[in-house]
Structure 1
Amino acid sequence: MVEHESHDSVRRSYDTVAEKYAAGFRDELTRKPLDRALLARLIEQTEAGAPIADLGCGPGHVAAWLAGHGASVVGIDLSAAMVAVGRREHPAVEFREGDLLALPAADGEFGSAVAFYSIIHLAPSELRHAFEEARRVLRPSGLLLVAFHIGAQVRHMDEWFGHEVDVDFRFFETSHVVGVLEDAGFAVEIRMERAHHPHEVDTRRAYLLARRT
């Protein structure tokens, strides 16, 4: 696995909060009908028998939802502690430790992929590389479902779930991410935005469903 030094603080931060993060987000999808609908569409449009990758899966709650609805799922995350929690709590899912810029997967291994709020820890200059990696591991015409916070700011956190961390949360303009996806070899088929739910951090969110060309 290729190490990316710039992501080391992100990895350490998620290692530190893994248990509390998992407890806080375990049932998150029960309160997110749009997310569930998009994930269901992803399953429906994935090539029969092909696995789905959850890129930046954290403790695996999205991967577990996909697996619970009939998909074969591989969760990939930078944080070893998150991967350990996922393996413990969701035995139906395969988990791998790895970076979005060097995915531990073979060319064309997956029928589709989801990346919910994982690109928010990438520098803008890294987005295309990450999407090219996602394209590499997808089969022809495979789908990539991406969600992120909309904007141009960077929110830094040095305390999270009562622990000391060092992590940036980057917001992206939707049109910019669409352009990077297209440059990386995807065609965007669905573009949606929504306001935050009452239980969420106050940000607008974007969802893009893109197909590997």
Structure 2
Amino acid sequence: MRVPGWLDDIRTSYDTVAASYADLLRDALAGEPFQRGVLALFAELVRARGAGPVADVGCGPGRITAHLHHIGLDAFGIDLSPAMVEVARRDHPGLRFEVGTMTRLDLTDGELTGLLAWFSLIHVPDEEVPVVFAEFHRVLRPGGVVLLAFHGGDGSRLKTQGYGGHPMNVHVHHRPTGRVAAGLRAAGFTVEAELAHHPAPDVTGGFVFAHR
């Protein structure tokens, strides 16, 4: 499904909801032991590869970036939304946050030891996913670790409102872990694990670990 102007729609939508999004999700990780466990495993894998810089791509208000820093990673955040980056810098003044797009990361080849995309691929159209995965492969050093978190299942829907009732205009894409893993393999990654998470009835999340 072709979605013209999708990057602009994401930027505008998340600029609109940035403050409410941060308020609503600020403490959410405290009640998510499975998510914390997945992030701890990611941190262990990065350290096993020699540590080094880790990019949280699509970082939003920086809550996951801050958690990665808290558990010992040299983490920084990148987000398409300038308002999200502004909130992240306000809430986590000791950390680095930059405005950028995962379709063209302002990073050098092989700069990263780890890359996290935490529910930020959910707005990327199917035909753009290979572009994103190629960028992830480019910026990771050999052996570098990638962790993707996303909505499981299949299908897409248009989200027109969210996070405090503010207007949005973004497509939300659900993908099975196998399809995401296959896309990573096609981009040159070695997939290490595919996990399905069921945090509530009729809700499925997916996690895929891979390395370059």
Q: Which amino acid aligns with 1:135?
A: H
Shift of 1:49: 4.4
Query: Residue 89 of structure 1 is aligned with which of 79, 88, 91?
Result: 91
Aligned-residue Cα RMSD (Å) equals 1.5
- Structure 2 Cα separation of the partners of residues 113 and 207 of structure 1: 13
Q: Which amino acid aligns with 1:15?
A: D
- Structure 1 Cα separation of the partners of residues 51 and 152 of structure 2: 34
Q: Does 1:123 align with 2:125?
A: yes
TM-score normalised over the length of structure 1: 0.92
Shift of 1:207: 0.5
- Structure 1 Cα separation of the partners of residues 28 and 65 of structure 2: 12
Residues 11-50 of structure 1: pairs in structure 2 closer than 5 A: 11-46=11-46, 47-50=49-52
TM-score normalised over the length of structure 2: 0.92
Structure 1: unaligned runs, 5 residues or longer: none
**Which one is further off, 10-19 or 163-172?**
163-172
Contact 2:152–2:206 (8 Å) recurs in 1: yes
Query: Residue 181 of structure 2 is aligned with which of 178, 183, 202?
Result: 178
- Structure 2 Cα separation of the partners of residues 92 and 210 of structure 1: 29
Contact 1:150–1:171 (8 Å) recurs in 2: yes
Q: Which amino acid aligns with 1:113?
A: L
- Structure 2 Cα separation of the partners of residues 28 and 138 of structure 1: 29
Structure 2 counterpart of 1:151: 153
Query: Residue 58 of structure 1 is aligned with which of 57, 60, 72?
Result: 60
**Which one is further off, 59-68 or 155-164?**
155-164
Contact 1:64–1:92 (8 Å) recurs in 2: no
Q: Which amino acid aligns with 2:207?
A: Y
Q: Which amino acid aligns with 1:23?
A: D
Q: Which amino acid aligns with 1:175?
A: G
Structure 1 counterpart of 2:166: 163
Q: What secondary structure is seen at the aligned counterpart in 2 of 1:9?
A: helix
Q: What secondary structure is seen at the aligned counterpart in 2 of 1:196?
A: strand
Shift of 1:92: 2.7
CA offsets, 1:14-57, max 9 Å, x none? 00000000011111211111211121122222143401110110
- Structure 1 Cα separation of the partners of residues 11 and 199 of structure 2: 26
Q: Which amino acid aligns with 2:209?
A: L
Percent identical pairs in the alignment equals: 40
Shift of 1:196: 2.3
Q: What secondary structure is seen at the aligned counterpart in 2 of 1:204?
A: strand
- Structure 2 Cα separation of the partners of residues 35 and 196 of structure 1: 10
- Structure 2 Cα separation of the partners of residues 6 and 187 of structure 1: 29
Q: What secondary structure is seen at the aligned counterpart in 2 of 1:10?
A: helix
- Structure 2 Cα separation of the partners of residues 128 and 79 of structure 1: 22
**Which one is further off, 189-198 or 157-166?**
189-198
Shift of 1:197: 4.1
Q: Which amino acid aligns with 1:164?
A: P
